[in-house]
Amino acid sequence: MKTLESTTDVRGGCSVQRFVRGHNQVTLYNADCRDVLPEIAWDAIVTDPPYGVNHCGNKGRRAKIDCEITGDTTPPDVAWMAEYPSVIWGANNFELPRSTGWLVWDKTHGAKCQHSQAELAWSNVVKTVRLHREAYHGFMRQRDGWYHPTQKPPMLMQWCMQWLAEGCTVLDPYMGSGTTGLAALRTGRNFVGIEIDPKHFETACARIERECNQGAFDMTPND
Ligand SMILES: C[S@@+](CC[C@H](N)C(=O)[O-])C[C@H]1O[C@@H](n2cnc3c(N)ncnc32)[C@H](O)[C@@H]1O
């Protein structure tokens, strides 16, 4: 039985990459999610859309990574996501229905830090407020590598998966460098990711391919 597979095709003018690891499948689209969503299926959403806060980018040493973000001047419409089991980061920037189930990422920044001390995710998969504490600055971020200006920690995204059905297909329509995809694979879920920016799309493909190459331990017997 094949445990790892990677194929590319072009559909409707957009590049599509597919990866298979064991029983889990990953499909990545380089496209505007609004064009692709009507064509695809998923069970749940874990995402981190652009917030409409106009991330300014870095003109210095990290300019290649810390660049401006597509769609970051006005927040996208995410209200439709509430119809699915969803976790939506940055949701204090969006219009969403009332929910009692918010996820909080405590970034462990000291009170003097000018950046946010925490980030919030709207969810309809938990009923109460849940807290994840993880430092992701300085050495902790450096250790993972700089892939995207607003990259999320893989551990944080893995933490979100515990409330979604095992083996389900998770969609991230704003996947950036593919962190949600890594988390889905690491927790035995399928993944569909969409990214509009070709540079971030390439990064996501490379990270996910590396993940597949590293962790392909399929214990099912050959048929
Ligand atoms: C906040 S970032 C996601 C970062 C991601 N969580 C990570 O860890 O790398 C949002 C991403 O959405 C992408 N984006 C913006 N508008 C889009 C659209 N209409 N369709 C698909 N992707 C879009 C941006 O290019 C950006 O990479």
Residue at token pair 């229905």? 97
Residue in 196, 205, 211 to alter for ligand 1 test, most ligand atoms within 8 A of Cβ: 196
Neighbours of 195 (CB within 10 A): 27
Burial class of 184 by CB neighbour count within 10 A (0 to 12, 13 to 18, 19+): buried
Q: For residues 57 and 62, what is the distance between their CA atoms, to the nearest angstrom?
A: 9
Does residue 6 sit in helix, strand or coil? strand
- The token duo for 179 is 């962190």
How many angstroms does the Cα of residue 219 sit away from the middle of ligand 1? 34
4-214 in CATH: which number? 3.40.50.150
52 Rama sector, left if φ>0, alpha if ψ -120 to 50, beta otherwise: left
Protein residue whose Cα sits closest to atom 4 of ligand 1: 176
- Between the CA of residue 93 and those of 19, 155, 187, 194, what are the distances in Å? 33, 23, 28, 21
Sign of CA dihedral 205, 201, 175, 60: positive
How many angstroms does the Cα of residue 127 sit away from the middle of ligand 1? 27
Residue in 66, 175, 194 to alter for ligand 1 test, most ligand atoms within 8 A of Cβ: 175
Over its length of 223 residues, how does the chain's per-residue pLDDT go in tens digits?
345 567 877 777 799 999 998 899 999 999 999 999 999 999 999 999 998 755 555 555 555 555 566 766 688 999 999 999 999 999 999 999 999 999 999 999 888 888 899 999 999 999 999 999 999 987 777 888 899 999 999 999 999 999 999 999 999 999 999 999 999 999 999 999 999 999 999 999 999 999 998 865 544 444 4
In the β-sheet with 44-47, what is the strand arrangement from edge to edge? 4-11, 14-21, 24-30, 190-195, 169-172, 44-47, 86-89, 118-123, 101-106, 130-133
How many angstroms does the Cα of residue 115 sit away from the middle of ligand 1? 20
How many angstroms does the Cα of residue 2 sit away from the middle of ligand 1? 31
Report whether 222 contacts 1 (CB < 8 A).
yes
How many angstroms does the Cα of residue 177 sit away from the middle of ligand 1? 8
Protein residue whose Cα sits closest to atom 7 of ligand 1: 151
Confidence (pLDDT) at 223: 40
- The token duo for 48 is 């981190």
How does strand 169-172 pair with strand 44-47? parallel
- Does any ligand 1 atom lie closer than 6 A to the CB of residue 121? no
Burial class of 222 by CB neighbour count within 10 A (0 to 12, 13 to 18, 19+): exposed
How many angstroms does the Cα of residue 209 sit away from the middle of ligand 1? 19
- Does any ligand 1 atom lie closer than 6 A to the CB of residue 50? yes
Residue 174 CA, closest ligand 1 atom number: 12
Task: Give the distance from CA 72 to its chain's centroid.
Answer: 16
- Does any ligand 1 atom lie closer than 6 A to the CB of residue 207? no
pTM score of the predicted model: 0.89
Residue extents of the structural domains in the chain: 4-214
Q: For residues 179 and 153, what is the distance between their CA atoms, to the nearest angstrom?
A: 7
Protein residue whose Cα sits closest to atom 25 of ligand 1: 70
